């Protein structure tokens, strides 16, 4: 009988100890959740807005093959908070991208500056530039349309 009482007592102690640690974990996670909601969660009222100065589509003229052409797109932060642009990349390796500023103040502007290399291309082509921002629409795309014309240099193979 004494053995059963000791075993019951030990189980009860383990139960209390487990309950104590669960309470500590609960309050720790509650604090972490509170911190995340206060500091890290994006509030839709505080999101920024991107305004493309011309359009999110750039139509370039005809480009000759084996040349590079530069383009520039201007964006304005028309939102109520600072605009952060992240993870900017191009859909193909022929387009190099630079961003003039990845943190844009309210009513300030930034430029997406690109260079397209037409080596080995011919005909209609599209280059897409993608990026993330702290806006309601998290993902944005700039589209560059162009047409690559052959140089007119022909090799005669006999």
Domain boundaries of the chain, sorted by first residue: 1-38, 47-149
Residue 22 confidence (pLDDT): 80
Q: How far apart are CA 67 and CA 29, in angstroms?
A: 57
d(CA 135, CA 50): 7
Q: Is pLDDT at 85 greater than 80 in this prediction? A: yes
Please determine, for residue 155, whether its predicted confidence score (pLDDT) is greater than 80.
Answer: no
> Are the CB atoms for 58 and 129 separated by under 8 Å?
no
Spatial distance between the Cα atoms of 112 and 8, rounded to a whole number of angstroms: 71
| Of the candidates 107, 35, 99, the residue with the CA atom closest to the CA atom of residue 76 | 107
pLDDT surpassing 60 at residue 93: yes
Place of tokens 């014309």: 149
Give the CATH number of domain 47-149: 2.60.40.10
**Would you call 73 helix, strand, or coil by DSSP?**
strand
Mean pLDDT of 2-21: 72
Q: Is the pTM of this model over 0.75?
A: no
Please check whether residue 50 is in contact with residue 132, taking contact to mean a CB–CB distance below 8 angstroms. Answer: no
pLDDT in tens, 22-78: 888 888 777 777 766 655 545 555 778 888 888 889 999 888 888 899 999 999 998
Give residue-wise pLDDT tens across range 94-138.
Answer: 999 999 998 999 899 999 999 999 888 889 999 999 999 988 888
Does residue 6 carry a pLDDT above 80? no
């Amino acid at each position: 009988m004494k053995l059963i009482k000791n075993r019951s007592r030990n189980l009860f102690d383990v139960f209390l100890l487990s309950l104590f640690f669960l309470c500590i974990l609960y309050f720790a996670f509650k604090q972490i959740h509170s911190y995340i909601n206060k500091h890290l969660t994006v509030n839709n009222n505080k999101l920024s807005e991107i305004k493309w100065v011309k359009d999110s589509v750039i139509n370039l003229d005809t480009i000759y093959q084996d040349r590079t052409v530069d383009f520039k797109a201007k964006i304005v932060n028309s939102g109520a908070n600072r605009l952060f642009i992240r993870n900017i990349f191009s859909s193909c390796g022929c387009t190099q991208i630079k961003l003039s500023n990845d943190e844009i103040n309210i009513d300030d502007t930034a430029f997406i500056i690109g260079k397209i290399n037409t080596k080995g291309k011919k005909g209609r082509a599209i280059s897409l530039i993608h990026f993330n921002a702290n806006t309601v629409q998290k993902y944005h795309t700039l589209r560059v349309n162009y047409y690559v014309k052959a140089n007119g240099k022909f090799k005669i193979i006999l």
